[in-house]
Amino acid sequence: MNRYPLWKYLLMAAALAIGLLYTLPNFFGEAPAVQVSSGKATLKLDAGIVPRIESALSAAGIKADFVQFEGNSAKARFADTDTQIKAKDAIAKALNPDPNDPSHIVALNLSSRSPAWLTKLHALPMYLGLDLRGGVHFLMQVDMKAALSKKAESYAGDLRSLMRDKGLRHAGIARDGEVITIRFRDHAVLAQAQALLADQMADLQWVEGADGSDFKLTGSLKPEAARRVQDQALKQNITTLHNRVNELGVAEPVIQQQGADRVVVQLPGVQDTAKAKDIIGRTANLEFRLADMTPEARAALDGRGPVPFGRERFGVGRGAPVIVYREVVASGDMLTDAQPRPDQYNQPAVSVTLDSKGGRRMLEMTRANVGNFMAAILFEKNKGEVLTVARIQGEFGNQFQITGMGTTEAANDLALLLRAGGLAAPMEIIEERTIGPSLGKDNIDKGFASVTYGFTAIAAFMCVYYLLFGVFSTLALAFNLLLLVAVLSMLQATLTLPGIAAIALTLGMAIDANVLINERVREELRGGAPPQAAIHAGYERAWATILDSNVTTLIAGLALLAFGSGPVRGFAVVHCLGILTSMFSAVLFSRGLVNLWYGRQKRLKAVSIGQVWRPEGATPPVQQG
């Protein structure tokens, strides 16, 4: 009766093998590496960088463990720190011909030491949280009110031109916060306008009202439109942050949305908060300027003449070099939106929207310059980079399209870069944490010490008190730990100090199931049951209680997961996973071990579960009352 079918043993073996495989990468530790990422907004790295790095290394006679491209940066791993530093210099020299204006960021970094075949299986080490490896954490609040007012302002501009186009006379359009008010002298015009607005401005909802002798329409964003605006603002801010953080050359920066209007930025390894804040808070600026394509300017481009007066030369970026006028037609703060959207021939294009001021200036400029070229230039750290140079094909105002970038991807990139100029809405740091590297190391040591000593104490007690069954329980507990670490590694969960505490606590609680089982088996033996039957009954009858007690613990774990944030979440994830793995290991796995040991012995006389004490002279209790 205490035998498992073969598939259950196979399941155990498979779980053990997978557990070992995915736990393994955590033991290798980290090795020195060099990380290469893009130093320019216009430069996007792809796998093509790998052979360049490899050739740079072989030219310098340095051997890397591997060079690989992942996400948006390339990493090369080295055997020791000396090689790493040499390699950094070699790569930097090869990739950045001009050290004053680096196009690539080459930074020293860490990479997992685990062998390539494990990485290929996606068996990666757990990601260590900031409290374990040191770094900075920012929680940034996006000012959604500002994003909404900005949007409302652009709508107010659109409204003015729309009313003018349709010849509707109004007595003023005003914006107050997120609310737009249009005044009318005449109710008939109001009705006309209302019909027009319902048709043309689907994102706004209008309420009619009176204002003295005048009539007015009060418009506000519809809730779903407001949500969309907020969503976009948040996404754009995250993109902008990504671009800026890349510059820090941080190994694995975390930039994530949290809730409806917050962004978490975590920069492991970074200790210099001032610099980090400076980079995160930096504003890039976008400028639209008219390009000069006169013969003089062309001569200057070829180096045959000086740059004409009042012009400027930009040598970096798409369409560069180019000579542009110094006057700014429109700047980034006038840009309300830039989206990749195919043009009427279904070619990739970027559709740009400016606010009313920008639109007016664009209209004036384009009226006189049809057929000429316009450039978009992104300024960062006082250095300009050309994003695009395009021919002005007709007169346009606050809405226009940029075409000719060839691929949809290029269109996406351009739209992103145009928007990357600034933040869609201002952000404020509302939470900031920095953890020094030595403190992180300390936390790891202390966390592991707790788990180790606690585990040893429990194991020793179980083995002494329950003898062989205690050994089985201990093995099951060890298996639980293995499985938990494997699952966490598989999910690439972030391990934090509360997470380690949760591992310890989960192990401490998981032993409950085995205590339940062992006590039950003893009780069955005390009641006079034969050993095989006692084992069977012990496991079977303890199961319902184990399930009940784990469900109640799981309810608490889920509550923490749902409502917790930050450290509590790290705790809750591990706690919930631990409850699940412990049900598997304590019941199925330990039973498997017992079955394997005792299951085949037909005439089992005794089991090694410690002393089964019976009151003297007591008769075995009646099984069924």
Partner 1 sequence: MEFFRIRRDIPFMRHALVFNVISFLTFAAAVFFLITRGLHLSIEFTGGTVLEVGYAQTADINKTRASVEALGFGEVQVQNFGTSRDVLIRLPIRGDLKQSDVAARVFERLCSDAAGQLAARQYTTAQGEQVSRMACLGDNEAEPIRLSRTEFVGPAVGAELYADGLKALAFVVIGIMAYLAFRFEWKFSVAAIVANLHDVVIILGFFAFFQWEFSLAVLAAVLAVLGYSVNESVVIFDRIREAFRRFRKMTTREVIDHAITSTISRTIITHGSTQMMVLAMLLFGGPTLHYFAVALTIGILFGIYSSVFVAAAIAMWLGVKREDLVRSGGRDRDPNDPNAGAVV
Q: Is residue 498 at the binding interface for partner 1, with CB under 8 A as the rule? A: yes
Dihedral sign for Cα 586, 588, 591, 596, please.
negative
Using CB under 8 A, which of 197, 537, 586, 607 touches partner 1? 537
Gyration radius of the chain over CA positions: 34
Q: Is residue 109 at the binding interface for partner 1, with CB under 8 A as the rule? A: yes
Phi and psi of 115, rounded to 5°? -65, 160
Q: Is residue 568 at the binding interface for partner 1, with CB under 8 A as the rule? A: yes
Q: How far is the CB of 87 from partner 1 (least distance, A)?
A: 10
- Residue number with CB closer to partner 1 (232 or 271): 271
Dihedral sign for Cα 494, 500, 506, 507, please.
positive
Using CB under 8 A, which of 60, 168, 509, 580 touches partner 1? 509
Nearest one of 394, 387, 397, 404 to 364, comparing CA atoms: 397
Q: Is residue 468 at the binding interface for partner 1, with CB under 8 A as the rule? A: no
Q: Is residue 505 at the binding interface for partner 1, with CB under 8 A as the rule? A: yes
Q: Is residue 260 at the binding interface for partner 1, with CB under 8 A as the rule? A: no
393-412 residues near partner 1, rule: CB under 8 A: none
25-84 residues near partner 1, rule: CB under 8 A: 29-33, 78, 80-81, 84
Dihedral sign for Cα 230, 233, 239, 240, please.
negative
Q: Is residue 1 at the binding interface for partner 1, with CB under 8 A as the rule? A: no
Site of tokens 């992180």: 440
Q: Is residue 493 at the binding interface for partner 1, with CB under 8 A as the rule? A: no
Phi and psi of 273, rounded to 5°? -65, -35
How many Å apart are CA 35 and CA 75, to the nearest integer? Answer: 4
Q: How far is the CB of 559 from partner 1 (least distance, A)?
A: 4
- Residue number with CB closer to partner 1 (255 or 586): 586
DSSP letters spanning 443-472? HHHHHHHHHHHHHHHHHHHHHHHHHHHHHH
* Helix (H) or strand (E) run with residue 362 in it: helix 356-368
Nearest one of 609, 421, 431 to 529, comparing CA atoms: 609
Q: Is residue 426 at the binding interface for partner 1, with CB under 8 A as the rule? A: no
Q: Is residue 15 at the binding interface for partner 1, with CB under 8 A as the rule? A: no
Q: Is residue 611 at the binding interface for partner 1, with CB under 8 A as the rule? A: yes
429-448 residues near partner 1, rule: CB under 8 A: 429-439, 442-443, 446-447
Please give the C-alpha separations between residue 247 and each of 37, 107, 241, in angstroms, as whole numbers.
Answer: 8, 10, 10
Q: Is residue 239 at the binding interface for partner 1, with CB under 8 A as the rule? A: no
Q: Is residue 564 at the binding interface for partner 1, with CB under 8 A as the rule? A: yes
How many Å apart are CA 298 and CA 496, to the nearest integer? Answer: 59
Q: How far is the CB of 621 from partner 1 (least distance, A)?
A: 9
Q: Is residue 571 at the binding interface for partner 1, with CB under 8 A as the rule? A: yes
- Residue number with CB closer to partner 1 (167 or 617): 617
Site of tokens 């505490």: 501
Q: Do 249 and 104 form a contact (C-beta atoms < 8 A)?
A: no
Nearest one of 46, 40, 32, 144 to 98, comparing CA atoms: 40
Using CB under 8 A, which of 45, 76, 110, 534 touches partner 1? 110
Q: How far is the CB of 75 from partner 1 (least distance, A)?
A: 12
Q: How far is the CB of 270 from partner 1 (least distance, A)?
A: 8
Q: How far is the CB of 279 from partner 1 (least distance, A)?
A: 12
Residue 139-178 contact track with partner 1, rule CB under 8 A, x = bound:
x-x-------------------------------------
**Can you give 507-549 as a three-state secondary structure string?**
HHHHHHHHHHHHHHHHHHHHCCCCHHHHHHHHHHHHHHHHHHH
Only one of the segments 66-74, 176-184, 371-379, 509-517 lies at the binding site for partner 1 (rule: CB under 8 A); that segment is: 509-517
Q: How far is the CB of 543 from partner 1 (least distance, A)?
A: 7
- Residue number with CB closer to partner 1 (89 or 461): 461
Q: Is residue 274 at the binding interface for partner 1, with CB under 8 A as the rule? A: yes
Using CB under 8 A, which of 461, 491, 528, 620 touches partner 1? 461
3-state secondary structure of 148: helix
Q: Are strands 494-495 and 127-128 parallel, antiparallel or unpaired?
A: parallel
